[in-house]
Amino acid sequence: MTSFARHRRMRLSPALRRLRSETTINASDLIMPIFVNESLDGSREISSMPGVFQFGYDKALEKISEIESLNIGAVILFGIPAIKDDKASAAYAENGVIQTMTRKIKESGLKIPVIADTCQCEYTANGHCGPLDQHQCVDNDKTLEWLKKTAISQAKAGADIIAPSTMVDGMIKSIREGLDASGYENIPILSYGAKYASSFYGPFRDAAGSSGQFSGDRKNHQMDPANRQEAMIELKSDIDEGADILMVKPAMTYLDIISDAKTLGYPVWAYNVSGEYALIKMGAKAGICDENAMVDETLKSIRRAGADKIITYFAEDYVKKML
């Protein structure tokens, strides 16, 4: 009897394959992004992301209630403000879109954890993650002040987790100090510690309403896709500054980074980003792949690499169709 025969016998039926499966996904392992547009009544599908919508406040609340009923782990909120300016003032306003949506969720009695995206690109007139300096690069130190104010306002509104995604130097230290000084020392920080300057973010700019404003790139503050060792340096730095959870973004083409991050002994989450979502959706629409099978394989590969949780636009459909 060969070892191959033993393996083959355990593959002969779906039930046996399930028994032998090393990697599983539960609804609670997934996190659903929600785009809230304060100028919108109802919902609007995002053209480059079929099946993903911007929601007005009431429709967003309905959707989040449905997501909670599916036992999905959490929602992460992205805001589209009515007015964008050169100070990103809507990002940290008391009545900002994420702050308002968070309060509505908490007041409704829903228990699903709320993660607040803490960035400026949806709120700046130029579509960048902060103010630009004379070289047209994001001004690191000014951006830190904006991020600190934004995080404090989101925590005050009731956010359960603060998720800074700007990838500027010192952001975790600045936010941690700001939260602690304001009485929010128990609010965890999910750090986008290894966020790459990726070509897979394009559809997100449609979703966030910044595609018509953004020009240039973010290569001066996000990571070079060629670099692996740099990710560990960045992640370790964020741990030292007070991060509670580490994020790797994107996911599909950065499985090695997820695996490396897992060795640090901290929770590792991964973001299955907009371009990754759109590629599968468009491939399925063209008839060149089975969408459900490809989504299942993709999410399991991210989990297999070491991700504890996955932020994915497939979360709702995956739970409904596959679990």
Q: What is the pLDDT of residues 102-159, one digit of tens each?
A: 999 999 999 999 999 998 878 876 766 666 666 667 777 888 998 999 999 999 999 9
pLDDT surpasses 60 at 215: no
Residue 101: its pLDDT value, please?
98
- Say which range, 164-173, 242-251, 272-281, 298-307, has the weakest mean pLDDT: 164-173
> Exposure pattern of 155-193 as b/e (b: 16+ CB <10 Å)?
bebebbbbbbbbbbeebbbbbbebbeeeebeebbbbbbb
Residue 130: its pLDDT value, please?
63
Which CATH number does the domain housing residue 120 bear? 3.20.20.70
For residues 58-63, give the mean pLDDT.
98
- What range does the domain containing 241 cover? 24-322
165-199 residue pLDDT tens: 887 899 999 999 999 999 999 999 999 999 999 99
CA–CA–CA angle 13, 18, 19 (5° rounding): 100
Rounded to whole angstroms, the Cα distance separating 108 from 36 reads 16
Residue 119: its pLDDT value, please?
86
* Dihedral over Cα of 231, 195, 248, 236: its sign: positive
Q: List, by residue number, the catalytic residues.
A: 195, 249
- Say which range, 30-39, 129-138, 247-256, has the weakest mean pLDDT: 129-138
Helix (H, G, I), strand (E, B) or coil at 51: coil
Residue 139: its pLDDT value, please?
76
Rounded to whole angstroms, the Cα distance separating 211 from 73 reads 29
Residue 213: its pLDDT value, please?
56
Residue 17: its pLDDT value, please?
85
Query: How many domains does the structure of the chain reveal?
Result: 1
pLDDT surpasses 80 at 7: no
Residue 316: its pLDDT value, please?
98
Residue 209: its pLDDT value, please?
67
Is 17 a domain residue? no
Residue 266: its pLDDT value, please?
98
Residue 310: its pLDDT value, please?
98
pLDDT surpasses 90 at 3: no
For residues 204-209, give the mean pLDDT.
77
The DSSP secondary structure of 238-297, one letter per residue, reads HHHHT-SEEEEES-GGGHHHHHHHHTTSS-EEEEE-HHHHHHHHHHHHTTSS-HHHHHHH
